[in-house]
Amino acid sequence: MFLQEPIEWPDKVELLIDQLESEATERDLSREERALMDIYETVPVLQSEDCLHEFWQSSIEHQRIINSFELIGASGIVDPMNASRWCGARNDDRNDYSESETEYLVTIEDELSGGMDELVDLVLEFVEEEMSE
């Protein structure tokens, strides 16, 4: 089971997310704006107890989310997501995984943890480069 300190987004990111959420009702968001929203909305899933299993069992658009992380250069998150695709084919509760599946998923989630550590910096850099007016 994956446990990591929750990401605390800087005020700049929180304010931008609030702005995009309100604007999304009035206009279509750009690909960059949508990517930022996807990342912001997906992080709580990736930081949940069931982490990648929960991500693959959810009804979100998995490939779009992966593409969003890829757009900001978060390969430390994209690679573990891709390596854990097999979780999406499972109907089982994560607790029903075999011992080898559990060990493999823990290894993937350890890799994910490193990617999550870099995420705030990558998002801030992305906002500066792609979303500054």
Instruction: Give the pLDDT confidence of 30-87 residue by residue, as tens digits.
Output: 999 999 999 999 999 999 889 999 999 999 999 999 999 999 999 999 999 999 999 9
Is residue 133's pLDDT more than 60?
no
Instruction: Say whether 62 sits in a helix, a strand or coil.
Output: helix
The answer as to whether 61 is a domain residue is yes
Question: Which of 77, 70, 62 is CA-nearest to residue 110?
Answer: 77
Number of structural domains found in the chain: 1
Question: Helices 11-23 and 31-46, interaxial angle, to 10°?
Answer: 120
The answer as to whether 30 is a domain residue is yes
The answer as to whether 4 is a domain residue is no
How far is it, in rounded angstroms, from Cα 57 to Cα 33? 25
The domain in which residue 66 lies consists of: 11-127
How far is it, in rounded angstroms, from Cα 51 to Cα 74? 17
Each residue's pLDDT tens digit, 45-60: 999 889 999 999 999 9
